Amino acid sequence: MNFARLSALAQSVVAAAQRRLPPEVRAAAAAVAVCFEPHPNAAIVAEGWEPDILGLFIGHEHHGELADSQPLPPQIMLFLENIWDYAEGDEGIFRDEIRLTYLHELGHYLGWDEGEVARRGLE
């Protein structure tokens, strides 16, 4: 599947996931950009991330202060071709994994660990 189609699918899944968030979380989610990339770029891999990662949160946490070490605004990156490969070309699995990866990275933005994400029903 081409990247344009993967992006369109991912955008619809993320929008639906955002609509289902509790109001206080939905407001925070609106403040963080979601970016779609085919794969992590060379700089991300050079930082030690695996080339097949599915998503990544970068920037400062919600209510966090901008720091010299994190000059970028917060953003959630979803690596669509990696997720498509993980889903083995199954559109239903791809959609599920987009939702799960988005919510996982949103949890990092909110400063939550995996346990807190699960307790809040966001997995």
- Would you write out the chain's pLDDT as a tens digit for each of its 123 residues? 899 999 999 999 999 999 999 888 898 899 899 999 999 999 999 999 999 999 999 987 765 444 455 556 899 999 999 999 999 999 999 999 999 999 999 998 988 887 887 887 766
- Bridge partners (DSSP) of residue 78 are 36, 55
Backbone phi and psi for residue 105, each to the nearest 5 degrees, phi listed first: -70, -35
pLDDT at position 20: 92
Read off the pTM: 0.88
- Domain 3-63+70-119 fold is Zincin-like (3.30.2010)
Measuring CA to CA, which residue among 3, 20, 28 is closest to residue 82? Answer: 3
